[in-house]
Amino acid sequence: MMSQRKDYSSLAISSYLELQRQNESVQDEEEQYLGSKIDEEDDDNYPLVVGIPNQGSGIPGAVFNLTTTVIGAGIMALPATMKVLGVALGIFLIIIMGILSEISVELLVRFSVLCKASSYGEVVQHAMGKPARILSEICIIVNNAGVLVVYLIIMGDVMSGSVHHMGVFDQLMGNGVWDQRKLVILVVMVVFLAPLCSLDKIDSLSLTSAASVALAVLFVIVAFTVSFIKLVEGRIDTPRMLPDLSSKASILDLLVVIPIMTNAYVCHFNVQPIYNELQHPSPHTMNRVGRYTTVLCILVYSSTAISGYLLFGKDTESDVLTNFDKDLGIRFSSVLNYVVRVGYILHLILVFPVIHFSLRQTVDALVFEGSPPLSESRKRSLGLTVVLLVLIYIGSTMIPSIWTAFKFTGATTAVSLGFIFPSLVALRLSHQGNLSYGEWILSWLMLVLAVTVSIVGVFGNVYSLESKS
């Protein structure tokens, strides 16, 4: 449970989070995060950017922005991973990855406040030097650009159709100019995405983030309800509970999909911007935001993965949205198909600018180092936005499947941003941040597991491409 009392703080113990009563005052709790004496009146206000008046969002707005960062295209690949992992192992990994991701977020927040770092790259630089910062920023750029490319691929697949599935426009209006996938994506980008991506503050996207979360929940409700009805009526095959290890190909698939799970929870690059735009920024408040987000995402992910796998079984596509072009076997099937697909396209349109925000900030920090803040240069901000959108659009026309993108980003940049860098930061700054022995052990465990998953995932991906598995 998540306590609302200020005299509680989080400790990472084993593979779960629990709350422990502190004997010290709130002031002492915050001193543990900062490593120095803090005046009593400043206990609940630790902005990462000093000297800028904070009139930002409350906890609900921060939760919506962080949840939107997490729940994007990754949710569409989870039913396919459930098909490979089996229901039991799939749900177990969804929960464990969510808990580990939340622990790494809390460590990142603690040391960001300690270092007064306003970005992911800054806290990495404080712990490991400038080369590590550059590497982390490259990872953010590759990860976020890859995710945005995936969003456009999904939009194109669902609206214009793919080789094996009919698009929404084809079903509604028959063949026409809307069959041109590249043209449809371009129109969506110019009309909807470009205006949203031109906004300067992530707090400006709180309302659109709330709408995107609501649309994701709508998708979950519809998919879960349909699968439950068919399960009760006995029209769904018994799902596999554990992975199939009977062949070399099935084992290879297992090694490939595990990194995709790590990609599903990566939100760390937006933690500092969201933290600093809180009305009353403090590690305690941000930890509450992270925990609420984690619980919500675990529920949404589990429901989507199970319902999607139950509905389509062995025919589950890597992008499960493309499965919603056939008769679901219940009343109003065609209407529900349209609701699911159109609703989730709108969700991705609203998620897109949140991910783009940190991409643009990171590119600016890397390319225009030492320049005034991006918020003070509207011309530079718009220029970067245009260039990034053009490159992302080109990428979406060259990558054939979201499975291809998620396999590699999940095994490399996502693992690094979500687990490797936060663990290294905690270990390198452990003497300054009062890292407990349990947290020290957990940091090492996350680091070893993340490196192992990355290595195995990359080799599995390369081998699957060579063997065309």
Each residue's pLDDT tens digit, 136-185? 999 999 888 888 888 888 888 778 766 666 667 776 766 766 667 788 88
Spatial distance between the Cα atoms of 316 and 304, rounded to a whole number of angstroms: 12
Provide the whole-model pTM. 0.77
360 and 388 in contact (C-beta within 8 Å)? yes
From first to last of its 469 residues, the chain has per-residue pLDDT tens of: 344 444 433 333 333 333 333 334 434 444 444 444 333 334 445 555 444 444 566 888 889 888 888 887 567 778 888 888 888 888 998 998 899 999 999 999 999 988 888 889 999 999 999 999 999 999 999 888 888 888 888 888 778 766 666 667 776 766 766 667 788 888 889 999 999 888 877 777 778 888 888 888 888 888 888 888 888 877 777 777 877 776 666 676 777 677 777 777 888 888 888 888 888 888 888 999 999 999 999 998 988 888 888 888 877 777 677 777 777 777 777 788 788 888 888 888 888 998 898 899 899 888 888 778 777 778 888 999 999 999 999 888 877 665 566 666 667 888 888 899 999 999 998 887 778 888 899 999 999 988 888 887 777 667 766 665 5
DSSP-based three-state secondary structure for 20: strand
Give Dmax (Cα) for the chain: 69
- Report which DSSP code applies to 239: P
Spatial distance between the Cα atoms of 197 and 208, rounded to a whole number of angstroms: 12
* Burial class, 18, CB count within 10 angstroms (exposed 0-12 / middle 13-18 / buried 19+): exposed
SS (H, E, C) 134-201: HHHHHHHHHHHHHHHHHHHHHHHHHHHCCCCCCCHHHHHHCCCHHHCHHHHHHHHHHHHHHHHHCCCC
| Structure tokens given for 330 | 């219940």
* Element holding 12 (H helix, E strand): strand 8-13
281 and 275 in contact (C-beta within 8 Å)? yes
* Burial class, 383, CB count within 10 angstroms (exposed 0-12 / middle 13-18 / buried 19+): exposed
φ and ψ at residue 261, rounded to 5 degrees = -60, -40
For residue 57, the cross-strand partners are 278
DSSP notation for 301-328: HHHHHHHHHHHHGGG--SSGGGGTTS--
Cα–Cα–Cα angle for 9, 66, 448, nearest 5°? 65
Cα–Cα–Cα angle for 166, 167, 170, nearest 5°? 90
For residue 10, the cross-strand partners are 19
| Structure tokens given for 284 | 């305690």
* Element holding 68 (H helix, E strand): helix 59-70
Spatial distance between the Cα atoms of 118 and 451, rounded to a whole number of angstroms: 26
pLDDT digits (tens, 9 = 90+) for 22-54: 334 434 444 444 444 333 334 445 555 444 444
> Which residues touch 213 (CB under 8 Å, ≥6 apart)?
64, 67, 68, 71, 296
φ and ψ at residue 13, rounded to 5 degrees = -130, 125
The share of the chain scoring above pLDDT 90, in percent, equals: 16
9 and 29 in contact (C-beta within 8 Å)? yes
> Which residues touch 104 (CB under 8 Å, ≥6 apart)?
268, 418, 419, 422, 423, 446
Q: Which of 71, 355, 46 is nearest to 205 (CA)?
A: 355
pLDDT value for 235 = 77
Place of tokens 């989730």: 344
